[in-house]
Structure 1
Amino acid sequence: MSNIVIVFDFDKTIIDCDSDNWLIDELGFTDLFNQLLPTMPWNSVMDKMMMEFHANGVTIEEIEKVLHRIPIHHRIVPAIKAAYALGCDLRVVSDANMFYIETILKHLGISEYFSEINTNPGYVNEEGRVRISPYHDFNKCSHGCTLCPPNMCKGLIIDRIQNTISEVDKKRFIYLGDGAGDYCPSLRLRERDFVMPRKNFPIWDLICKDPLLIKAEINGWSDGEELEQVLLHLINKIMMEEHVQFISTDCKLQTLSIPVLESMPKALSVRP
């Protein structure tokens, strides 16, 4: 196990669309969704939509089949498998829901690669319909963050993950995301960490307004191929730095010999 924790957003990061919109459009409920959206919070709208699916005879199996064919770039799964094989701790922090994410990750054959999924609760109830509720119950208490939607502050989730990992372990984080909700957790990262915002998406625009607010190193990506290249490059970079530090400590800060340097893993090249 390496000292690298990789946190993935889900919609438009692991998959290449918004999972709620995909499901609604594919099942033909777009007009109803657009009517309901101005009247209640997003999670409440989606819970209502699940009730409408059920009332109109849409089965759980039909919902799963639609989720199984959700768009995903062909290099995303290999990137996740490679990161896991290199010993990285993979986690999901997403404003989708547990039913979608577990259904899709299981279908892709990569569910076991993630040690933790943080998202809005979503499950099939005894009546055979999906229920969706907010991660933070904002009707009882606000999470207090003005940057994030009322149902989820990803920054608080990153704080919790950081606090559960001993500082002695010196874990280094790589955070990948696309949306405005991914900006808050990016602000929580430290100088030794990395943030991978999707180029020309809301998080990219927010970071570009004042990049100096981000302590972590910023590495953008545009599609699944570039995500894979940049992610594996960063993993190699971290592992090489740790390798150098280990050798330096082991040699009591003596000068490294050329053969030792040549034996170190090489960073992957990244196209501009």
Structure 2
Amino acid sequence: MDTSDCFIFEKLAKELREKMETMQDTMIWTDMMNILFGELAACGVTRADIDRILTQIPFRPDMLRALHLAHSAGADIRILSDANTYTINRILEQHGVEHLFTEVVTNRGHWDQSGRLCVEGYIRESIDAPHDCKITSLKTGKRSCAPNLCKGKEIRRMMKEKKYERVVYIGDGANDFCPACELSSTDIVLCRAGRVLESILTQPKHAAQVKAQLIFWNFASDILQVFENLFQSVGNSEVTVFERDLALPTLDPVSVSTY
């Protein structure tokens, strides 16, 4: 799995990156990251160290072009992510694209007095009401959404707050299946090939739950091509893009066939 979190640990503490592989099977991602960021601080890693690594996370040029194209056409662009506010905001600021986004929905990331990065769930069990998502996607029958964030609930809220002509959703993880199920036949799901979401959507029983058009992609250039075709066909019509991990190594090529 390639995410901003993985990138940080790969560069700063490979032993904790390896530990992540075993921990993620037994606990939710947000709780795991909060523990590991604590261990990272105990190893002497500072805020400056993490900030330095965040500047190294690549933002694919074609994805930048796609974002600017959508923004110039009047799209309402939002981020819906299971990362955290601190790392996402730093990455967006580093590449000068924070102004392109209407909203960032993610877990809370903040620094405590000891100088360690703390991560709290977007939904905090001790304070917030739990989400009621019942969407399942895996053979085990487990819910596709973790307790800390239901992306389907958030996308319903967004679509209720503002009437969109079309929603374009880009995702690659198991927790992107739930919001995909919320979309209509006029919407589009851009699913990254070779990742968990593709393995879910290629199962007939799960694919039947998604009404939106499915497009599988490998490269950031594929996203750009879709956007170019989309905006040429709709002119200045309003389009919403929900992007999962914009500035991450997940935009690197993967070794699968192009659809």
User: Shorter-normalised TM-score: what interval?
Assistant: 0.7 to 0.9
The change in CA–CA distance for 1:34 and 1:185 in structure 2 (over 3 A counts) is closer
**1:7 is matched with which residue?**
none
Q: TM-score, normalised by structure 1?
A: 0.75
Return the letter of the residue paired with 2:121: P
Q: Secondary structure at the match of 2:217?
A: coil
Return the letter of the residue paired with 1:79: A
Q: Secondary structure at the match of 2:202?
A: helix
Between 1:38-47 and 1:208-217, the stretch displaced more is 38-47
Q: Please identify the structure whose Cα radius of gyration is greater.
A: 1
Q: Secondary structure at the match of 2:115?
A: coil
Is residue 131 of structure 2 the alignment partner of residue 143 of structure 1?
A: yes
The answer for unaligned runs of 5 or more in structure 1 is 1-11, 244-270
Is the Cα contact below 8 Å between 1:125 and 1:131 reproduced in 2?
Answer: yes
Is the Cα contact below 8 Å between 1:148 and 1:181 reproduced in 2?
Answer: yes
Q: Secondary structure at the match of 1:215?
A: coil
5 Å-filtered alignment, 1:39-118, equals 40-118=27-105
Is the Cα contact below 8 Å between 1:76 and 1:224 reproduced in 2?
Answer: yes
Is residue 197 of structure 2 the alignment partner of residue 234 of structure 1?
A: no
Return the letter of the residue paired with 2:77: L
5 Å-filtered alignment, 1:155-234, equals 155-165=152-162, 167=163, 170-210=164-204, 211-234=207-230
Once the 2 structures are TM-superposed, how far is the Cα of residue 32 of structure 1 from its aligned partner? 4.5
Q: TM-score, normalised by structure 2?
A: 0.79
**Following the alignment from structure 1 to structure 2, what is the Cα–Cα distance between the partners of residues 70 and 49?**
19
Is the Cα contact below 8 Å between 1:77 and 1:108 reproduced in 2?
Answer: no
5 Å-filtered alignment, 1:5-24, equals 17-24=2-9
Return the letter of the residue paired with 2:12: L
Once the 2 structures are TM-superposed, how far is the Cα of residue 71 of structure 1 from its aligned partner? 3.5
1:99-147 alpha-carbon deviations (Å, 9 max, x no partner): 1110111111111110100011112233332110111224565323222
Once the 2 structures are TM-superposed, how far is the Cα of residue 75 of structure 1 from its aligned partner? 1.2
5 Å-filtered alignment, 1:126-141, equals 126-138=113-125, 141=129
Count of paired positions? 226
Return the letter of the residue paired with 1:23: I
Return the letter of the residue paired with 1:91: R
Once the 2 structures are TM-superposed, how far is the Cα of residue 35 of structure 1 from its aligned partner? 6.2
Return the letter of the residue paired with 1:231: F
Return the letter of the residue paired with 1:182: D
The answer for unaligned runs of 5 or more in structure 2 is 134-142, 239-257
**Following the alignment from structure 1 to structure 2, what is the Cα–Cα distance between the partners of residues 61 and 214?**
43
Between 1:115-124 and 1:73-82, the stretch displaced more is 73-82
Return the letter of the residue paired with 1:77: L
**Following the alignment from structure 1 to structure 2, what is the Cα–Cα distance between the partners of residues 32 and 195?**
33
**Following the alignment from structure 1 to structure 2, what is the Cα–Cα distance between the partners of residues 147 and 157?**
14
Q: Secondary structure at the match of 2:121?
A: coil
Is the Cα contact below 8 Å between 2:28 and 2:146 reproduced in 1?
Answer: no
Report the identity percentage. 29
1:22-45 alpha-carbon deviations (Å, 9 max, x no partner): 111111232454565566432122
Q: Secondary structure at the match of 1:30?
A: helix
**Following the alignment from structure 1 to structure 2, what is the Cα–Cα distance between the partners of residues 224 and 118?**
22
**Following the alignment from structure 1 to structure 2, what is the Cα–Cα distance between the partners of residues 237 and 220?**
20
